[in-house]
Amino acid sequence: MTTSRTADEMAQDMAIVEKNIAHAGRPITIVWVVLMLATCVSWYFGDGHGATKLAAVLVIITGFVKVYLIMEHFMELRTAPPQLRFAFTAWCVVIPTILCGIYLVRS
């Protein structure tokens, strides 16, 4: 069973591959450093430094920033269809907003 691919499909696939190759390297290293710094910020505030409410909100927001960066750069969501990217970005904004709101109202 063979499938024939058109030249346009192959050109689209090659464009995606070239985009991924161009994005690899230094930007990934920068993202990794940002993730490590975000981990240190979460640990610092989660370990009891700073105001309790502010610390909790910062840990929640930092966690979702890390999720976004990992999905965008390491899981290659940047090459996904725009609808999927929009849905994921909306999720990364709406869910931490709700969580922070619930925490601040309940505490």
Confidence label for 4 from pLDDT (cuts 50, 70 and 90)? low
Kindly report each contact of residues 89-93 with a partner whose C-beta sits within 8 Å and lies 24 or more positions away, as own/partner.
92/64, 92/67, 92/68
For the chain, the average pLDDT equals 85
pLDDT of 2 higher than 60: no
Can you give the pTM of this predicted structure? 0.69
Both tokens of 101, joined, read 């709101």
**pLDDT (average), residues 76-80:** 84
Secondary structure (H, E, C), 77-105:
HHHCCHHHHHHHHHHHHHHHHHHHHHHHH
